[in-house]
């Protein structure tokens, strides 16, 4: 235990740090005394100013001491964290040894994420695809069991949907004419759209994923999200339900209400 705590911990360094902090406090006190009293015994204003500046610079090396104290403070925090971590590790080891066999018999925590068979995921996506004639969904599994969707909504936009079982991890929205593939022919799940309007829709889609949360019924979540996404079929045709305009700052209404699916400009929805 003593060997572990001795790693990087230097008692002399602690002592120097404490002395530096005390010296800093003393210097700060002298600074405020100088600022309050000035140099009263000098005859002229110019002489008082020069003497005050010289006294301040020579007697109170404030910046250097502040910097030194900051460095020592960081070292102290690092060593304190190291010591605390080592103490916690030793405490955990002692607790595990004391518990003995009972600790080995403790049941493991069960994961909260539902792992569904790929065929079930395929069936859910297929049913959703048939629900919306304006929307086509292509499913692929380039990395094994995790599915990736390419959703094409009319001739308006395309959406890359990254799945984990039947849970949506992330989405990327791009224009209908934009390239959605990498050079090796895989779906590009990292590059954002070149157009601000689809970047906005991507941000709103991420917000929608946080809104439609029902971990025990992931199929309902996917269906609700796709229903919300389908409302963008009139992205460039629907006016804002608040201001009545089609464009604001050069952009159409990019927000869709999660409940009513009505169109709003990003600033009008507030």
Question: Is residue 213 situated within a structural domain?
Answer: yes
Please report, rounded to a whole number, the percentage of residues in the chain having pLDDT higher than 70. Answer: 60
Question: Is residue 155 situated within a structural domain?
Answer: yes
Question: Is residue 130 situated within a structural domain?
Answer: yes
Question: Is residue 148 situated within a structural domain?
Answer: yes
Is the C-alpha dihedral spanning 97, 103, 104, 110 positive or negative? negative
Question: Is residue 248 situated within a structural domain?
Answer: no
Of 202, 196, 112, 197, the C-alpha closest to 160 is: 202
Residue-range definition of the domain harbouring residue 140: 118-233
8 Å CB contact between 42 and 51? yes
Angle between helical axes of 45-59 and 11-37 (0-180°, round to 10): 170
Question: Is residue 191 situated within a structural domain?
Answer: yes
pLDDT band of 4, cuts 50, 70, 90 = very low
The total domain count for the chain is 1
Residue range 19-28: mean pLDDT, rounded: 68
What are 54-91's pLDDT values in tens digits? 555 565 455 455 545 544 554 554 445 445 555 555 55
List b or e across 36-67, with b for residues whose CB sees 16 or more CB atoms inside 10 angstroms: eeebeeeeeeeeeeeebeeebeeebeeeebee
What are 85-114's pLDDT values in tens digits? 555 555 555 555 555 544 445 554 444 456
The predicted structure's pLDDT at residue 189 = 92
Question: Is residue 186 situated within a structural domain?
Answer: yes
What are 169-203's pLDDT values in tens digits? 999 999 999 999 999 999 999 999 999 999 999 99
Question: Is residue 218 situated within a structural domain?
Answer: yes
């Amino acid at each position: 235990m003593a060997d572990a705590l001795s790693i990087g911990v230097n008692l002399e360094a602690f002592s120097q740090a404490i002395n530096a902090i005390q010296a800093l406090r003393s210097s700060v006190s002298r600074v405020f005394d100088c600022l309050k009293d000035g140099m009263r015994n000098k005859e002229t204003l110019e002489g008082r100013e020069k003497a005050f500046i010289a006294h301040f610079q020579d007697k109170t090396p404030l910046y250097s001491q502040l910097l030194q104290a900051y460095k020592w403070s960081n070292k102290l925090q690092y060593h304190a964290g190291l010591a605390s971590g080592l103490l916690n590790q030793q405490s955990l080891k002692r607790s595990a040894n004391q518990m003995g066999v009972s600790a080995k018999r403790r049941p493991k925590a069960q994961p909260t994420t539902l792992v569904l068979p790929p065929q079930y995921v395929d069936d859910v996506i297929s049913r959703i695809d048939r629900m919306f004639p304006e929307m086509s969904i292509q499913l692929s599994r380039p990395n094994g069991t995790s599915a990736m969707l390419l959703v094409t909504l009319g001739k308006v936009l395309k959406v890359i949907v990254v799945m984990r079982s039947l849970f949506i991890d992330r989405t990327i929205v791009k224009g209908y004419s934009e390239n959605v593939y990498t050079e090796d022919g895989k779906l590009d799940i990292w590059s954002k759209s070149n157009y601000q309007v689809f970047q906005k829709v991507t941000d709103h889609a991420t917000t929608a994923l946080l809104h439609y949360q029902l971990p025990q019924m992931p199929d309902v979540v996917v269906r609700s999200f796709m229903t919300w996404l389908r409302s963008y079929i009139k992205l460039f045709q629907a006016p804002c339900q608040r201001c009545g305009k089609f464009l604001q700052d050069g952009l159409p209404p990019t927000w869709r209400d999660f409940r009513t699916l009505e169109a709003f400009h990003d600033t009008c929805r507030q």
